Structure formats: C-alpha cells, structure tokens
A and B are shown apart, each in its own frame.
Chain A
C-alpha cells in the first residue's frame, strides 16, 4: 500500500478544486446515465444475410442479451428486431475498473426480399448470435424439371 502525503488544507486550493472536479466527472462517467441508450456505441448491431435454396438467414451478434429481451416483429416484409442488453448489477458491492462492454437498447429493421415468405419465420439464439430463418416462397424455390426424351 502506498501512503499518501498529507497536504495542509488550502495550501494548494487550485489543485484540490481540480481533484473535486475530477471526482465529479468520474462519478458521472460511472453513473447509470452513461449506460443508457443516449451514449450507446452500437445501438444498431451488425447483421449478416444469406440464402440457400429454401431459406433466407439473418445473423446478428448480440452477446449477453436474454431471449426474453428480444422482440421480433414482421409486417409487410419488414423484419424489425428490437431488444435490450441489460447490465446485470452484481449483488455484491462490485467495483468496475474497466468496461468496454456496451449496454442499452438496440433496434434494426431489415426489408426482406419479395420472395421471402413472411408467414414462415423462425428465430434461434445460440452463443450470443441471433439466427432468424425466413422461408422462401414455394413458387421461387428451385425445382427439378424432368426432361423427357422421346
């Protein structure tokens, strides 16, 4: 442990004012206000979109988000994913030293291709990745056409 040298009060008042300001700022940056969506770094999570013969697939990285905090809606071929990443406060008197993890609400809407069947949507959350599977309309799926040779 380092011992801190005692300074006579008022001796260096300008510095102690700075100390006070620094403390106030530190408190502000540690507060819940900074956790809120106003300062969210990535309230629009990155997505990947892919297709195969039968389906379209959407992938979204949302680590730490609980299934119940995700809200998926689809209307007129627009898929809207809303959710909240909650900062779970520890029950113990926990001190945070360093935090790069973002908390808050997020939202992303994606216009699906015309050939997506918006009545057939499945969602799955695995290892912090949301996977939404949207079936292709029956009429656009590739079909095998038999060629008859006479």
Chain B
C-alpha cells in the first residue's frame, strides 16, 4: 500500500482595496481535477496532478507527482460567498471580495 504523495503548491496572496487574490501553481492539474472547499472559514484546494503512465518507459524523472493540497483561513473581513476561481496555464486564481465594512474609508473632519 502506498501513501499518497502530497504536494504543497507555491502560492501568492495579494490584494487591492476591494478584493483579495490567491494564486496557486498547480501544473498538470486541470479544472476537472480540482476541488475547492470552504468549511468553517477554512478554504481548502485539492487537485490531482495528472501524470502520463509510461510504465517501464520512464527514462528519467524529476517532477514531483501526487496530489496538490493547500489550505487558507478566511478572515471575517472577506465575503466567502463571493469567491471566484479561474484556471490558466496551470495557475489557479481565486478572488474573494472584501466586505464593505472592512474596506478602508476616509473620515471627514467636522467643524
């Protein structure tokens, strides 16, 4: 019995004033191989990396194989119903809106 290999993909977190963007590098996984689950403020991305099966035909191997797994905790400031996901060239991009009340705002000086 072989234990499944877990790959923790490289990620990037950035934000503008309206939304937060997460990017994950998951080469070899297509959108059909991905599961994006939100449960109790925990965002979990899982994806199977597809490897061709050459059996005895492998001459040299360096690439990591297995299943991509990455988790993020969502803060109260983000609206978890607003999450959108896109895939392009092996990079998964997730965007989530920042709640209105958590956005920076200007305070006018009275008087």
Contact of A52 with B54 in the complex, beta carbons under 8 Å = yes
Contact of A128 with B91 in the complex, beta carbons under 8 Å = yes
Number of interface residues of B (CB under 8 A): 31
Q: Once the chains are docked, how many angstroms separate the CA of A36 from the CA of B17?
A: 27
Interface residues of A in 35-67 (CB under 8 A from B): 46-52, 56-57, 59-66
- If the complex has contacts A63-B89, A92-B16, are A48 and B28 also in contact, measured as CB distance less than 8 A? no
Contact of B89 with A97 in the complex, beta carbons under 8 Å = no
Instruction: Please tell me which one of the listed residues A49, A66, A98, A102 contacts residue B59 in the complex, with CB atoms under 8 A apart.
Output: A49
Q: Once the chains are docked, how many angstroms separate the CA of A100 from the CA of B50?
A: 22
Number of interface residues of A (CB under 8 A): 33
> Smallest CB-CB separation from B33: which chain A residue?
A127
Query: A93 within 8 Å of B by Cβ?
Result: yes
Q: Could you say which residues of chain A place their CB within 8 Å of the CB of B66?
A: none
Interface residues of A in 50-107 (CB under 8 A from B): 50-52, 56-57, 59-66, 90, 92-102
Query: B62 within 8 Å of A by Cβ?
Result: yes
Contact of A128 with B13 in the complex, beta carbons under 8 Å = no
Contact of A128 with B14 in the complex, beta carbons under 8 Å = no
Query: B106 within 8 Å of A by Cβ?
Result: no
Q: Could you say which residues of chain B place their CB within 8 Å of the CB of A121?
A: none
Instruction: Please tell me which one of the listed residues A63, A66, A90 contacts residue B14 in the complex, with CB atoms under 8 A apart.
Output: A90
Interface string of B1-42 (1 = CB under 8 A from A): 000000000111111110001010111111000000000000
Contact of B14 with A95 in the complex, beta carbons under 8 Å = yes
Instruction: Please tell me which one of the listed residues A92, A95, A128 contacts residue B28 in the complex, with CB atoms under 8 A apart.
Output: A128
Query: B111 within 8 Å of A by Cβ?
Result: no
Binding site for B on A (CB under 8 A): 46-52, 56-57, 59-66, 90, 92-102, 125, 127-129
Give me 20 other A-B pairs in contact (C-beta within 8 A), A62-B90, A101-B23 excluded. Answer: A46-B64, A48-B62, A50-B58, A51-B54, A51-B59, A57-B54, A59-B52, A63-B89, A63-B91, A64-B90, A92-B16, A95-B15, A98-B11, A99-B14, A101-B12, A125-B89, A127-B29, A128-B25, A128-B26, A128-B27
